[in-house]
Structure 1
């Protein structure tokens, strides 16, 4: 709970009002509850006609407020109800409302004449003021003010004190319990989120491992190397082999890294595209419009490669010729904006959110690639960095993918 508690935050004012109205009617005394600053929290219950008439005068109303304020201060200092006589000679009491040592307000009550005034002396809280005696109407109203025995008034004071304390303590305990419950739920959600991230990272590692042993990919690479070895003096073969080696080195060394430089991620993608270009020939062309100034930007490991690999599998390979992939980068002063575009036939727009959510089905297998990338981008950078995908779903219409990376990144998104 916060150190600064407010009475109206702990318990419903409507509930306080009902308790106050019923208690006032049962005992026959006036009541009102005020906060720690003396401002009313509830509406007055059972105020005497005399007191209502006195308070029509601004000066006399201020005197009443001063009495109430002083009575509340005394009660707060004592930690129990304080019974006193107001400036007009009527008897009131103030009962403090305290929770965990913090003063939240007070119950102000009374406006009665004591039936046994001579036997039980009650001190004035402020000097007496008999101005009302000069007004016949006020004298008559004062004579009609309720008479209460001192012991009954004292019992009412302590009963209201204990009742209000109990209600507020219960409300405080409930609020603490709810806050603890909410904190537990938050911690559970955080734990679930971290477990989800760990799962996604494991999937990324497994995906990286699959690139090391993927038979289809290795078969294509080795066949291409073999053909080039027969046809050439091995210069191009050597270039391709180096590209392949660099790819494997990146996968092997970085597969357990969560965050890498964008330069290393893009270099890995370029090696992959160079190999695919040799394998596919004129069926594939690609351009990388990425300024070297973005090289040190941090990005999650293996978030660009799966998108480019999707372009190869679903956009370029089905084409007989003239397939292309374009990778561009720009910034808006806050983020680097990376866009990957192909000229394939695209995917149905209604399938995009399904694929990103990780529930898209491909021949009995659930697609997790886009979901993995989207989830990791959100985890590291926040929900504003979600993956964006658009497609026209038409021949040659292509698919457009956008990712954003903060230009400055010091750690995990909180």
Structure 2
């Protein structure tokens, strides 16, 4: 479901354009005018403002009453769908025309600050209670006497002109919004095309490297199976287990690189890999797998997790004299599968973490970016799941590294 975006009047029409429109309107009609937002607050400077109104707004109660009048009048104009002529809280004749963009009320053009014939005045709504008592302020009474009187038919003509201007502003706002949206879509499209091209190149490079490194892999696979059976016959079960685990990893590497697997398959490959490493390092490396069984049928690109585990051991734990602890955790969080690979090894400096997140690492050594590399793992997941996938990388030098992948839960259609 798309999230509706709410705009401010300044977002859709340039303020300098609004100011020029308002100034020209005031010059043509002799009315004071101001463009306000949906709360009744001015967006631009006042045009042809009356001294009486300017003085009223210098009093806290007066300013509040003016803004309330403008806000209520704007909403009333929206409700009626046409210009609204009324009396403000101080009794002057004002008019408002709504500015509506994409069904959203953004503000109004407010004008007036005049008096009209008494018989016409009596037929207008007084929109709010007076914010000030003129009788208690002689200066206001004197300024009130200087307010011009205008024929009511001219006020109505000015209101229609205001409505035309408001519609122009709204149309310009719609055009600006459409242009902004098109620009944003074009930028996103170009970024997606670039990312896809980079990913396809990375996948082709990975496939090429895999082909270059394959020295008759079927022969190696069959040989390992033979050695495994021989070790079992000779009474060397641990050797048999290690050789079998290596054969299973080789079997996985023979599958097509972009093929979809289940998390169950990926966890099995990790178990085989860890068996080999734990045999190699004995007590220096301890691994723990905490797996939520409800996640195991979810899909994932083949051999995505093993490179992360390998990086954690090779670059985090192996160089550490006393070794360390590795945790692989898979759990269901709502509609997402959360996969965490964490070690308490050497960790990475902050600048290396930033390079990982930007996928721009140029370092070697303890960068956690060897083999297929974190960059390729991230890009493969991004290519497969799109915006439904995201990741986090946390690391502190001397304390360890935690990489967390968030994938959508999707039952795998293996082989599709």
The two structures share one fold, judged by TM-score above 0.5: yes
Residue of structure 2 in register with 1:404 after alignment:
403
Q: For 1:325 and 1:217, locate their aligned partners in 2 and report how far apart those are by CA, in whole Å.
A: 35
8 Å contact kept, 1:82–1:95: yes
* Structure 2 equivalent of residue 175 of structure 1: 177
The alignment's TM-score, normalised by the length of structure 2, stands at 0.60
CA RMSD in angstroms comes to: 6.0
The answer as to whether partners of 1:99 and 1:165 remain within 8 angstroms in 2 is no
Please report how far the alpha carbon of residue 173 of structure 1 lies from its aligned counterpart in structure 2 after TM superposition.
Answer: 2.1
Distance in 2 of aligned mates of 1:122 and 1:197: 72
**1:144 alignment partner, SS class:** coil
Q: Any stretches of 5+ residues in structure 1 without a counterpart?
A: 278-283, 315-323, 343-349, 362-366, 392-399
| SS across alignment from 1:290 | strand
Equivalent residue number for residue 4 of structure 2: 2
Q: Quote the offset at 1:264 in angstroms.
A: 1.5
C-alpha distance in 2 between matches for 1:139 and 1:257: 82
| 1:372-404 CA-partner distances (Å, limit 9, x unpaired) | 235447777634148x7999xxxxxxxx99563
User: Would you say 1:30 and 2:38 are equivalent positions?
Assistant: no
CA change 1:108–1:201 in 2 (3 A) is same
- Shift in Å, 1:409: 7.5
SS state of the match for residue 110, structure 1? strand
The corresponding residue for 2:341 is: 337
* 8 Å CA contact 2:35, 2:108 repeated in 1: yes
TM-score by length of 1: 0.60
Offset at 1:289? 2.1
Larger radius of gyration: 1
CA deviation profile, 1:337-369 (whole Å, cap 9, x unmatched) = 355989xxxxxxx99969x748789xxxxx873
> CA 1:65–1:123 in 2, change beyond 3 Å: closer, same or farther?
farther
In the TM superposition, what is the alpha-carbon distance from 1:178 to its structure 2 partner? 0.9
Contact kept? 2:312, 2:326, Cα under 8 Å? no
Where does the alignment leave 5 or more consecutive residues of structure 2 unmatched? 316-321, 332-337, 365-369, 412-416
Q: Could you say what secondary structure the match of 2:106 adopts?
A: strand
Is the 8 Å Cα contact of residues 101 and 170 (structure 2) preserved in structure 1?
A: yes
Shift of 1:162: 1.6
Shift of 1:99: 3.0
| Shift in alpha-carbon separation, 1:57–1:247, aligned structure 2, 3 A | closer
Q: Displacement, 1:109? A: 1.3
Q: Which residue of 2 aligns with 1:382?
A: 390
Task: Give the superposition deviation at 1:171.
Answer: 2.0
1:180 Cα deviation after fit: 3.7
CA contact (8 A) 1:336 1:404 kept: yes
